[in-house]
Amino acid sequence: MGKLALAAKITHVPSMYLSELPGPRQGFRKPAIDGHIEIGRRCRELGVDTIVVFDTHWLVNANYHINCGPQFQGLYTSNELPHFIANMEYEFPGNPELGRLLAEECNRQSVETMAHDATTLAPEYGTLVPMRYMNADRHFKVVSVSALCTSHYLNDSARLGWAMRKAVEEHYDGTVAFLASGSLSHRFAQNGQAPDFATKVWSPFLETLDHRVVRMWEDGDWEDFCAMLPEYAVKGHGEGFMHDTAMLLGALGWSKYDGKAEVVTPYFGSSGTGQINAIFPVTPQDGSAIPAAQASNPAGVASTSRL
């Protein structure tokens, strides 16, 4: 019925908002902002009606959660970096119908997921920052998915991504984009050193690792990337333990994905972390490589591995 038209891995660094404001950093995140604007343009061109964001700033300790209220509006100040994002206005429509369909299919595929359509829960800045630039005219409906998952298996996140694609394709009458909103390496600069790392990555090891990953994406080396994702998430200090990336790759077919990433905003450093905007073409997939749900499997629960 419906269509997953666009998938992307995106940055949401709060310095994008800071870049708008008068001061010494004004304009320095223009490439990242332009990348968001381009992704929004592509979504419009493809007829997308709803953007689903896998948000690594929405921390959850149990279950997967979907924020699918009918409308979002307010002023946002980051509790993490209130000197970067303070009193940022936001407003866009939600999509309760799609949110419920996503949760229903995830549960059918043994990934316990809850949709919240009657809630005062506000989106986090992993959703708010990209929507500021992709959706300033409130053209798209928005659904936010928890992706800072503290006690979850990467297998389940991959299965969740696939289930959400199936929900769109089999039960939704519309066109959707999936965005994995999170960094590559996510090792912040030490307190007091942040200004020195405003445009740098924390260490040569992490920067080299990230560049190698980006090359794998551009070359379509998905079997090797999916195999190394659990270790990359740990040794690369992956944001949200890289659950947003697992969700995105699950939606794309996991290790059998056969597309190649298109970098829209080249890799850059921000406060020590590694960032990018990249689009992943959606290709036909049969789901045969998607990992089985793990938390619902007694043998899986006994495992100490996230994957």
8 A C-beta contact, residue 160 and residue 111: yes
- Over 70: is that where the pLDDT of 140 sits? yes
For residue 57, the one-letter residue type is H
In this prediction, residues 104-130 reach a mean pLDDT of 97
Fold of 3-280: Protocatechuate 4,5-dioxygenase; Chain B (3.40.830)
In this prediction, residues 279-283 reach a mean pLDDT of 98
Residue 281: predicted pLDDT: 98
- Over 80: is that where the pLDDT of 303 sits? no
Residue 298: predicted pLDDT: 67
Look at residues 278, 240, 275 and name the one whose alpha carbon lies nearest to residue 9: 278
Q: For 26-51, what is each residue's pLDDT tens digit?
A: 989 999 999 999 999 999 999 999 99
Return the minimum-mean-pLDDT range out of 153-157, 189-193, 261-265: 189-193
Q: For 238-247, what is each residue's pLDDT tens digit?
A: 999 999 999 9
**Helices and strands: H and E segment counts in the chain:** 9, 10
Residue 296: predicted pLDDT: 83
3-class secondary structure, 293: coil
Residue 129: predicted pLDDT: 98
For residue 76, the one-letter residue type is Y
Look at residues 95, 91, 89, 74 and name the one whose alpha carbon lies nearest to residue 137: 91
Residue 25: predicted pLDDT: 84
Cα 243 to its chain centre, rounded Å, is: 8
Domain boundaries, the chain: 3-280
| Structure confidence at residue 305 as a pLDDT band (50, 70, 90) | very low
Q: For 215-264, what is each residue's pLDDT tens digit?
A: 999 999 999 999 999 999 999 999 999 999 999 999 999 999 999 999 99
Beta bridge partners of 178: 7, 52
Phi then psi dihedrals of residue 248, to 5 deg? -65, -50
CA distance 28 to 199: 9
End-to-end CA distance of the chain: 32
